[in-house]
Amino acid sequence: MHTARFIIDPEFSIADVDRRLYGSFVEHMGRCVYTGIHDPEHPTADEAGFRGDVADLVRELGTGLVRYPGGNFVSGYHWEDGVGPLAERPRRLDLAWRSIETNQVGTNEFLGWAKGLGLEPMMAVNLGTRGIDAARALVEYCNHPGGTAWSDLRIKHGVADPHGVKLWCLGNEMDGPWQTGHKTATEYGRLAAEAGKAMRQVDPSIELVACGSSNSTMPTFGTWEREVLEQTYDEVDYLSLHAYYEELDGDRASFLASGAHMDRYISDVVSTADHVRAVRHAKKRIRLSFDEWNVWYAARFPGERNLETAETPRLIEDTYSVTDAVVVGSLLITLLRHADRVAVACLAQLVNVIAPIRTEPGGASWRQTIFHPFAQAARFATGRVLRTEINGSRIDTDRHGDVTALDAVVTHDETDGSLTVLAVNRAQDRPLKLEAALRGLPGGYRLEQHLVLTDDDHDAVNTEAEPNRVVPRPATGAHVTPDGVLEAELAPVSWNVIRLVRADSPRRPGPP
C-alpha cells in the first residue's frame, strides 16, 4: 500500500463554491432533447411533453445550470424557428450534425422546463451564420417585460412574464474550422464585442461569455485567447474552455491522470487572461466558463461529414465504465481546485449524448456510472474550497508526466462546520492510504461517512438491464485518530467521498 498526506486547515482557502460549477448542457444533437428530456409519448410525460422520469434524475443529479441550445448546433440556428405555434414551426436541416430539426422544442419550451426544475439557463446566440441583430432580438424576446415588438411576440406566444436569462454565450467554438461560420480571432472578437454591446443595451444586467479555444491542442491556442480578449475585455465577464478526455492506445495510466491536463489548461488560460488585464491596466479579472467537459471517446466518432441525415439519430451515446467515472470525479476535483477563477462549468451533455443519464424512447431511464461522482459532488462539496498540497506516492504517465497517485480536494461548509473530502486513487493495482491532518478546527471531528465507487472490474458499466451494477457504496475502516488525523484506505481506481462533522454533532439515525 502506498501513502498520501495533506493538511486540512480552513485558514488556507481558495474560494467559495459557485453552484454554477455543477452545470450541464442540452444541445439539439442526437437524442439529448428528443426522446431525452422531451418525449410526449412517454408514460411520465407532462403536458408539455417533458419526461418526468428524466426530470427526477436531473433533480437527483443536482445540476444548477444548463447551457442551451448548443454547441455546434447554435452556429446555424434561427431561434425564431423554435417559437410560436408548434404546427407552424419549420423542419430544418441542421448542418452541424446532419440531422432534421423539427423545432418542436425551442426557447420557451426549454426555459419553461428549466424553470420548473429550478435550473439557471445559460443561453447561446448564433454568431456563425447570424450576428448582432438576431442576438439582441433574442435578449429582447427573453428578457424585456413588454411593449416592444419582440417582447410582445413572446407574450403573444403565451409567456407573459420575461424569462430573465442572465448568462449568455457569444457563439460557440468559433475558432474551429468545423464550425458553421468559422472565424479568425480578429473577426470573432470584433463581432462578439459589438454583439455583446447591443445585447447589454437591451438588458444591462446580463453576463457574457466569449469563446476561448475549442481545446488546448488547437494551433491558435493562446494566441486566440489573447486576440479575442484584446477586443472583448471590456464587454465580457467570462472566457470559455472546452475539453474532452478518452483512453487512447490502452494507456489507462495517462487517462486516469486527465485532471493534470485540465489543471495546466486552466492555468494557461488564466495566465493569458491576466496578461491582457495587465497590458490594459484593467481592474476587472476575467473568470472562466468551462462550459464543455467530459469523457468522450471521440476516436470512435466517424465525423460530422460521414453522418447520415436523420431525425433524432443516436449520436455518441457512449456507455461509461468505472474508470470513466473515476476520471470524471478527478475532473470535478480539478474544477473545484480552481474555484477562484472557474465560475461556470458544464458537463456535456445531460441526456444520452455522452451523458450521465440514458433513456430509451418511451421506455426506461437510468444512471450511467459518471452520474454518481457528479451528483455526490453537487450534494456534498459546498461552502468554501480549501487548499490542499498532496505529498506521497506518485505515478509516471506517458502523456502527463509525473502525477500524484492521490487526487483530492476539500470543502468546508461554515454553516454547520462539515468537511467533505473528494478523493481519487489513480493507481490501478494498489490501494492507497490517505492521511489528512486536521488543523485550525476546534472541538474535534468525527467521521460521518465514507462512500466509494469502485469495482474489481474497472470496465464495469451500468445498462438498461443492469442499471445498478456500479453505484457508490459505504466503505469501512476510515476514522479520525485521537490526535486529529483522518485516515482512510482508498481502493485502486476509485472515487471516494469522505464526510467529517464536528464531534458534538448529533448522529444521524439509520444508514448514511
Q: Give the cell for residue 509.
A: 439515525
Q: Which CATH number fits domain 2-11+385-502: 3.40.50.720, 3.30.70.120, 3.40.1080.20, 2.60.40.1180?
A: 2.60.40.1180
Query: Percentage of residues in the chain with pLDDT exceeding 70?
Result: 99
Mean pLDDT value of segment 26-35: 98
What are 92-118's pLDDT values in tens digits?
999 999 999 999 999 999 999 999 999
Cα gap 180→182, rounded to integer Å: 6
* pLDDT band at residue 512 under the 50/70/90 scheme: very low
Q: Higher confidence at residue 442 or residue 55?
A: 55
Q: Give the cell for residue 410.
A: 476539500
pLDDT of residue 305 exceeding 90, the answer is no
**Catalytic annotation present for 389:** no
Residue 504 has a pLDDT of 82
| Amino acid type, 266 | I
Give the C-alpha distances (Å, rounded to integers) separating 385 from 107, 381, 425.
35, 8, 20
Quick check: 397 and 73 in contact, CB under 8 A? no
**Catalytic annotation present for 88:** no
Quick check: 280 and 418 in contact, CB under 8 A? no
Residue 416 has a pLDDT of 92
pLDDT of residue 509 exceeding 70, the answer is no
Mean pLDDT value of segment 295-306: 88
What is the crossing angle of helices 371-380 and 52-61, to 10°? 60
Quick check: 486 and 494 in contact, CB under 8 A? no
Residue 507 has a pLDDT of 74
pLDDT of residue 208 exceeding 90, the answer is yes
| Cα Rg of the chain, angstroms | 23
pLDDT of residue 289 exceeding 80, the answer is yes
* pLDDT band at residue 301 under the 50/70/90 scheme: confident
Residue 511 has a pLDDT of 45
pLDDT of residue 508 exceeding 80, the answer is no
Phi then psi for residue 291, to 5 deg, are -90, 10
What are 314-325's pLDDT values in tens digits?
999 999 999 999
What are 273-284's pLDDT values in tens digits?
999 999 999 999
Domain spans of the chain?
A: 2-11+385-502, 18-380
Cα gap 61→68, rounded to integer Å: 18
Cα gap 189→338, rounded to integer Å: 26
- CATH number for the segment(s) 18-380: 3.20.20.80
Annotated active-site residue in 109, 173, 225, 235: 173
Mean pLDDT value of segment 476-490: 95
What are 324-367's pLDDT values in tens digits?
999 999 999 999 999 999 999 999 999 999 999 999 999 999 99
Q: Give the cell for residue 283.
A: 481592474
Bridge partner list, 433? 3, 489
Phi then psi for residue 86, to 5 deg, are -60, -40
Residue 116 has a pLDDT of 97
Annotated active-site residue in 109, 225, 292, 489: 292
CA-closest candidate to residue 182, choices 190, 173, 174, 194: 174
What are 137-151's pLDDT values in tens digits?
999 999 999 999 999
| DSSP letters for 110-176 | HHHHHHHTTPEEEEEE--SS--HHHHHHHHHHHH--SSSHHHHHHHHTT--S-----EEEE-S-TT-
For strands 357-359 and 406-412, give the pairing: unpaired
pLDDT of residue 503 exceeding 90, the answer is no
Q: Residue 54's Cα: distance from chain center in Å?
A: 18
Residue 505 has a pLDDT of 77
Query: Cβ-count burial of 264 within 10 angstroms (0-12 exposed, 13-18 middle, 19+ buried)?
Result: middle
Q: How many CA atoms lie within 13 A of 207 on its CB side?
A: 16
Task: Residue count of the chain, please give it.
Answer: 512
Cα gap 423→421, rounded to integer Å: 6
| Amino acid type, 368 | Q
pLDDT of residue 81 exceeding 50, the answer is yes
Cα gap 90→70, rounded to integer Å: 19
What are 35-78's pLDDT values in tens digits?
999 999 999 999 999 999 999 999 999 999 999 999 999 999 99
Q: Give the cell for residue 372.
A: 454518481
Quick check: 419 and 7 in contact, CB under 8 A? no
Give the C-alpha distances (Å, rounded to integers) separating 300 from 131, 315, 316, 369.
34, 11, 8, 20
Residue 265 has a pLDDT of 98
Mean pLDDT value of segment 388-402: 95
Whether the link from the prior residue into 179 is cis, omega within 30° of 0, is: no
* pLDDT band at residue 192 under the 50/70/90 scheme: very high
Residue 304 has a pLDDT of 79
Query: Percentage of residues in the chain with pLDDT exceeding 90?
Result: 95
| Amino acid type, 326 | V
